[in-house]
Structure 1
Amino acid sequence: MKAVRVLNNNVVLACDEKDRPVILTGRGIGFSSRQGKPVDPSLVERVFVPADGRDPSAGSGPDGDPARLAEAMALISEEVLQAVVTALEDVGIEGRESTRPTLAIAVADHVAGALDRAARGIVIEYPLRAEVQTLYATEYAQAQLLLQAINEYVTPRLEASEATPLALHLVNAGFVSGDLSFTYTMTGVIQQMLAVIKERYGLDVSHESMNVARFITHVRYLFVRIQQRRQLKGHESTIGKGIRQYYPEATHTAQQLATIVELRLGKQLSEDEVSYLALHVARMTMGGDDPAV
């Protein structure tokens, strides 16, 4: 790999053997690197390879530019950046080579702020803790492990409550937009949807139910499709119409849920998306957790 630009002693923008832009991190890697010259591989601790030359979780704006990402990474202190990227690898969230530099940047930036608050004795209570634990159980469990790993490398140790924002950053990494506010909005919309279903049918919408878990997963992927402008459509003559005819009551509820999405995001759902929402609503209202329902 050849150095393109040395950002600081620990971050280098380079090109790999396929001429792809990559971001390299490692203690002292920038000190011995020179523009246009090969980078000493023994100094490379982490390689970030944005897909197609861009970070897929950073969208199409300037934040997806590898040079901008490298600059942002260079602004984070060496100790915090190393703690985060090592912890991400320790718990199996990211490997030595990663296609998501914005995840490392976002987590490291949050950890830097959290360490500053901890040093000053400032404690923050995160209001979305219950929602995050319920809606994003997998990411919350990962975040708890990540927090434990980070605490092995930093001083002072971070409070257990920091697992909530870390989980949100892990959820956010799955979207085209790198804007965490979208994840906050999605969280609120899912809660609204579940509240409508609970009120309309008198159902227990706790996440322990398999059908509720399926619904939450479906809605999360729906949000991904909305962000990527890839809503389901084109199957109206068969599947979509069949679902709406077979589950008219669930379809009416799904149309209400679609209205919530449109009001909160300004995006109208396709007929197919409404149909598949109806299918998941029907599963919840029919009782039981039979996978064949």
Structure 2
Amino acid sequence: MHILRVFNTNVVLARDADGGEVVLTGRGLGFQARPGQEVDPTKVIRVFRPEDGRNADNFGEMLAALAPELVHLVDRVLAPVWAELRREPSSTTVLALADHLSFAIKRIERGMDAVYPLRAEVAHLYPRELHWAENVVAAVNDELELDLPADEAIPIAMHLVNAAFDSGNLALTYRMTGVFSQVFEVIEGAFSQPLDRDSVNVARFITHLRYFFVRVHSEEQVQDHPTSFLDAIATAYPDAHRCARRVADILELRLGQPITEDEISYLTLHVARLTQAASIRKPEK
């Protein structure tokens, strides 16, 4: 690999053997280095490959502005997350979390409190990611001898939700969370009884909604089943189907796209499973 740009003594931009631009970190990697020189592989600790079309120069500048020990700590703490997701580490997520934590640390040092109103939604919708995020906060507090509040896990969890679905857009993830909360309000209102947010069926429904959201964002909604199949579902679960149509109306308004009949049928099946398992009474017509 050859150096393209030196950001500081520990961070450089380089071109790899495949011709792509990568950001490299390592103690002394950029010391007295010049563009065009060969990278010393013995000094390279981590190779970051900017994803989602991110500009490599901007990525390197952001990385160079962060404390190396914080970046390495985030990278290490997220290793179990990537293992559970069965995917390669995301350079973008590592940078985003390290950047967030760097700002959070400065905020705490200045006595500034942050308010995260989505704790209930995140706990109900993303328990796995919240657990991971709490581990990140605990590790940062332990290793850097800090006292970050427990609520810092909320935005970190949102970053991890974003990473799990490769959306590359954190704003989209926050929007998705708001839509999910409204969907549950519609279902609970239709059947006049709260759902058990800790149940397996609710977890399955959340997973379905998350993939549905990705499909809509990618303009790849399901629309393969014959009309007879869709009619059979509507006939078998009339109450759930009416509720699913209300949910679809909300989704269309929030997402700005029409929902296919196939997607409504899948929503019907999930609503039916939720309501039957919870023994919720039928809604008033």
2:172 is equivalent to residue 182 of structure 1: yes
Structure-to-structure mapping, 1:127-138, within 5 angstroms = 127-138=117-128
Cα 1:67/1:211, change in 2 over 3 Å: same
Matched residue, 2:25? 25
Instruction: Name the stretch that deviates more: 121-130 or 8-17.
Output: 8-17
Matched, 1:5 2:28: no
Name the counterpart of 2:282.
Answer: none
Deviation of 1:283 (Å): 0.9
Q: Which amino acid aligns with 1:257?
A: V
Query: Aligned runs of 1:101-250 on 2, under 5 Å?
Result: 101-237=91-227, 239-250=229-240
- Structure 1 residue 224: Cα displacement: 1.6
- Alignment pair present for 1:280 and 2:270: yes
Supply the distance in 2 between the matched residues of 1:223 and 1:109 (Cα, whole angstroms).
27
Contact kept, 8 Å, 1:118 with 1:158, in 2: the verdict is yes
Secondary structure in 2 aligned to 1:108?
helix
RMSD of equivalent CA atoms? 2.5
User: What is the CA-CA distance between 1:175 and the residue it aligns to?
Assistant: 4.3
Match of 1:93 among 72, 81, 89: 81
Cα distance in 2 for partners of 1:168, 1:175 equals: 11
Confirm or deny: 8 A CA contact 2:167 2:214 kept in the other structure. Answer: no
Q: TM-score, normalised by structure 2?
A: 0.85
Aligned equivalents of 2:29, 2:147: Cα separation in 1: 28
Counterpart amino acid of 1:209?
A: S
Residue 16 (1) aligns with residue 29 (2): no
1:107 counterpart letter in structure 2: L
> Residue type of the partner of 2:3?
A
Shift of 1:111: 0.6
Q: Which residue of 1 aligns with 2:35?
A: 35
Gaps of 5+ in 1: none
Distance 1:137 1:230, change over 3 A: same
- Deviation of residue 138 (structure 1)? 0.2
Residues 177 and 26 of structure 1: CA distance in aligned 2, closer, same or farther (over 3 Å): same
CA distance in 1, matches of 2:75, 2:244: 41
Amino acid in the other structure paired with 2:105: L
Cα drift, residue 255 of structure 1: 1.6
Deviates more, 1:227-236 or 1:240-249: 240-249
SS in 2 for 1:153: helix
Given that 2:140 and 2:146 are in contact with CA atoms closer than 8 Å, whether structure 1 keeps it comes out as no
Structure 1 281/12 Cα, relative in aligned 2: closer, same or farther at 3 Å? same
Equivalent in the alignment of 1:253: 243
**From 252, 257, 269, the counterpart of 1:262:** 252
Residue ranges of structure 2 left out of the alignment (5+ in a row): 280-285
Judge conservation of contact 1:232–1:273 (CA < 8 Å) in 2. Answer: yes
Equivalent residues of 1:174, 1:224 under 8 A apart: no
State TM-score, norm by structure 1: 0.83
Bigger-Rg structure (1/2)? 2
| Percent of aligned pairs with the same amino acid | 43
Q: Please tell me whether the aligned partners of residues 23 and 48 of structure 1 are also in contact (alpha carbons under 8 angstroms).
A: yes
